[in-house]
Chains A and B, each alone.
Chain A
């Protein structure tokens, strides 16, 4: 059974937990305001808000429910557009977010509009500073084909102004008190608390592998955020045997242990963005993360999902390859440690045994003398998969490179750690000549193919440019 709150209603359902929340919302509950534009997380028409208790506090994040298995709704508050429409009798029938959209003329055909309104409501429910930029960032996963977005920017600006008076008040309290969102929001926390007191919540996660399994035994599909699984295997997921790791508290968290940063596999990109440890270690992390997918996808996408998906352009795979991250793999009984660099054996082929899942990820935090940088270029700068991406980690000893790690994505069948190039850079002093040689060396390690993201010639040229960009950035952080 899955239990959650949908708008004001408590739901207990025995539908398969692998079914996407979108179908449940639209076709089982007939809440038709949530739209379908792509079923691939790429348009935001299906955006809902997901409220979750964290350390006793209620936090909301936007998610695209077309990729969200209903199993991941367990114990949460799911909010659709119907859940933020003002109660009957409220003047105008519109909340201030909706009113701002109307006043700005920020809706034309209207098909994308509920998604935009939900994302903007998500901004109001977040702890983000009330700036126009942050309000706009909230709709970075919403595509509108009609308006050209300028009117949406104007609406976002008005909504940011609306939130300026919040100051330090808890967002949920503020928005329900100010009638920005319906009053029932203030009682959701207690309802969720009683819901999550039950023990059923972990039951979707833990499922040990049988000691001796018959030939017919197949691993259950491990589900993180679902943002890859539901794109790749959409049709098979509803009835698949699934194991949900997304909310398993044992698999979350980012901590510092000495020089090491230790992360649970179900850490999302948003968790990374919010982590003080990460931001301290990578001062430009916010810029990097902005290049990865969109707000709702970042709220769902886990690092383990990124690694195991084994896409040659996985952004965080490339990021952590340069840092020589280590994985702890477990099958529930025994564990082993494996460098991320050794995980990939060929196109979508992994050094992973049946039943194994990633239980931990750790890496050495960059020291004072370590320079780290991440570059990504895609056809569309935001919400797009890289044509080529690359990360570099250089430990410097004065002018000399003591240790180098360079990775590159989109230039081979797997995300690449550029071993020869990294080795070449060791004990070198950075100079134009060395950079040129490193770029040439990198060309010998890659084998890009032509596809929708670019020709192989382009990808070769681009990787060279990104390597160059790393070094320019090293010399002129912040501006080139």
Chain B
């Protein structure tokens, strides 16, 4: 926890409400935390397994389930015909069937659902299902999809300034192609759901989902029943990262479909290979860029065209594509911009949300453009990066004005880590060493916080104070390790000034909190935390009223409520402790028939966006930061290590530094994984070749940076975050992009002539192939 020096001890306890770290840690380390597969099994539970398409695109000629149906233990096999409502799970655009009806659009698309008395029997039956598919042309390249007019939505363009004139003022212009690969979420808990029938045709669904309302809404639509008959309940997820925002729905609805027909509990917990094969991932992108700089290295013109590989259906792709546009200039001010994005339909599983939500893909391209310019000009990219950092008041291509910490983060990083000296050390090392070369790169980040779809920025919280003084809270937020539940406990503990142990967060349940937005966009703690703050405040006001009445009793006059304060569970009047305390006051309030419960609603003020003009103020605020990444490559073998990642990050005023540091470190490593070893390979037939943990590699403990230093930027600026503690889930992931450019620089140190395609991830294969472009080995 190096350099975590800016938080004083006193300030810490005030800001944290006495909580450090994640409150779930206790049951986690004892193995007692409950995930989907741990929910006690109800008698009579049946098990589901999906039969998925072996072909990426085609017309189903016949589907024969007769043999499978005859197998021992098999109860029934469902197909599209058995759907009572709409065979439709598309959230943004209705273009995705739950079970393929006449056509299949990707390998892994569910076609039939086997229900059997055990998991083993359900899976055994899958092998007996026969399908015959007449193949149709398969597209796996987004550019080809665009050429063929296979677009999910109409392209969108963000414009700022006057690009045509700007090009004429440029001293240097560079253009090229930059691509970034997809990324498997690899939440360690796979997708799953468990549906249990209730009376009156109601279904309760336990779902490992980031979006309980999406599950509820889609189930209602598919089963043709009202939403109030679908109860979705989520305790916690064993990781989500966006992969369970939209894509958890399918499994839940499948279970519900079987429960609807059979009136029996039905469970489906996916095997890893099913999960990897059937679910979508981070969108691969390929993009064209053109960048223009003036003599002073100011970027004055930037044009980018993004081709997003959306996969076979919309899923969240339109929203992801939008965020790519929002973040196309990363942390830089560029006065003249044209950015266009195409969401291209291909025959791979529908790609979906993944930490950063298209932002990283957009940022990668401008960083690639800057790297290309720097390489051509023979200067470090940091010279260009620094000169173009956003200043407060600068306009983003979408019209919002920056409230910037970009320069503050950069100069703090420079002061702490001495950027020029680090660069010199790398040069000195490279001059001395033949078989090992180092590379260094900087990665500033600016990330907007809010759902870009403005209406989704709303949340509700239900707070009950029980007569014994304990507090129970329900919100729409889903806990998945990011610590949102802990932060909500902190909010309540702080507002009420009570022991956080008195506060319990309940499961996320659509019967208690309705119409929720998914836990995504890094915004869950802000939205649900603020709603909780409002609810607690309302109850507190009533409690104070009661306290003032109670304390005034017999004193003749009435004490003004403003003189009442609750501190550490004691009631103070004008700064003097009174005989009243939390528990007693709560009971007194109840006795007076005054409500100890509150359901509050929050929506952040001031945000709006006009998609017609592509202008507005879509973000409540931005998060800033700078990272410096150093790597070493082994030039004999093409393998490499990440030496260090040094960061200054704008946490605002962190309410839980341990959780926030964890988010930062975890995000960085996930981002580095995306840029280095995580490689998704689909073959020409649209089949995923890297479909298991043995072929798809995520970072292990030995591949992480030897050092990660995170400095919390000291900032006094206020913002719309909960208690000024800025959202932290997504932004740090993008620091990892620096690893790609550091590796590039290291390769160039060995082979200055290397022409390295701007194509992430930078696998050991790509490193070696760039070190030795001709396959005749170099001299010893």
Contacts and interface: CB of A to CB of B under 8 A. Distances in A.
Contact of B701 (A113, A139, A375): A139
B702 A382 contact: yes
Nearest to B28: A110
Contacts of A454: 765
B638 A465 contact: yes
Contacts of A147: 662, 665-666, 669
Nearest to A81: B31
B22 interface: yes
Interface in A364-390: 375, 377-385, 387
B661 interface: yes
A145 B692 contact: no
Nearest to B480: A109
A385 B639 CA distance: 14
B43 interface: no
A117 interface: yes
Interface stretch (A34-42, A179-187, A275-283, A396-404): A34-42
Contact of A45 (B188, B240, B482, B769): B188
Given A105-B21, A150-B665, A151-B662, A81 B637 contact: no
B481 A108 contact: yes
Contact of A98 (B29, B123, B636): B29
A432 B638 CA distance: 21
Contact of B780 (A143, A432, A453, A462): A432
B700 A143 contact: yes
Interface in A84-143: 85, 93-94, 98, 101-103, 105, 107-114, 117, 136, 139-140, 142-143
A235 B780 contact: no
A233 B409 CA distance: 53
Nearest to A231: B694
Contacts of B24: 107, 110
Given A111-B238, A144-B188, A480 B666 contact: no
A435 interface: yes
Given A379-B764, A381-B703, A35 B637 contact: no
Contact of B693 (A35, A42, A381): A42
B775 A460 contact: yes
B708 A148 contact: yes
B29 A468 contact: no
A152 interface: yes
A435 B777 CA distance: 10
A34 B188 CA distance: 13
A377 B637 contact: yes
A151 B1 CA distance: 9
Contact of B29 (A108, A117, A458, A462): A117
A35 B238 CA distance: 10
Contact of B237 (A39, A109, A439, A458): A109
Contacts of A145: 185-188, 239, 241, 666, 670, 698
A468 B768 CA distance: 14
Given A148-B669, A377-B764, A113 B272 contact: no
B636 A108 contact: no
A152 B482 CA distance: 16
Nearest to B772: A461
A105 B25 contact: yes
Interface stretch (B32-40, B420-428, B445-453, B466-474): B32-40
Given A102-B29, A452-B690, A377 B668 contact: no
Contacts of A377: 637-639, 764
A471 B636 CA distance: 12
B693 A38 contact: yes
Given A105-B658, A109-B189, A142 B694 contact: no
B492 to A, nearest CB: 21
Interface string B653-667: 000001101100111
B312 to A, nearest CB: 22
Contacts of A468: 636, 777, 780
A148 B636 contact: no
Interface string B677-720: 10101000000011011110111111110001000000000000
Nearest to B689: A452
Contacts of A331: none
Given A148-B669, A149-B699, A469 B636 contact: yes
Contacts of A140: 700-702
A382 B662 CA distance: 23
B666 A461 contact: no
Given A379-B764, A461-B768, A107 B28 contact: yes
Contact of B670 (A26, A81, A101, A148): A148
B62 interface: no
B10 interface: no
A81 B27 CA distance: 11
A26 B39 CA distance: 12
A107 B22 contact: yes
Nearest to A463: B777
B166 to A, nearest CB: 40
B30 A436 contact: no
A113 B694 CA distance: 21
A108 B479 CA distance: 10
Given A37-B189, A148-B668, A461-B769, A32 B238 contact: no
9 contacts: A110-B24, A110-B236, A111-B238, A114-B28, A140-B702, A380-B677, A387-B764, A464-B775, A468-B777
Interface of A: 26, 32-40, 42-43, 45, 80-82, 85, 93-94, 98, 101-103, 105, 107-114, 117, 136, 139-140, 142-154, 231, 235, 238, 375, 377-385, 387, 432, 435-436, 439, 451-455, 457-458, 460-462, 464-466, 468-469, 471-472, 480
Interface of B: 1, 21-22, 24-35, 37-38, 120, 123-124, 185-190, 236-241, 271-272, 435-436, 480-483, 636-639, 658-659, 661-662, 665-670, 677, 679, 681, 689-690, 692-695, 697-704, 708, 763-765, 768-769, 772, 775, 777, 779-780
Given A108-B666, A109-B480, A380-B700, 12 more contacts: A102-B21, A105-B25, A108-B22, A110-B24, A110-B33, A111-B481, A148-B665, A385-B694, A387-B764, A465-B768, A466-B637, A468-B780
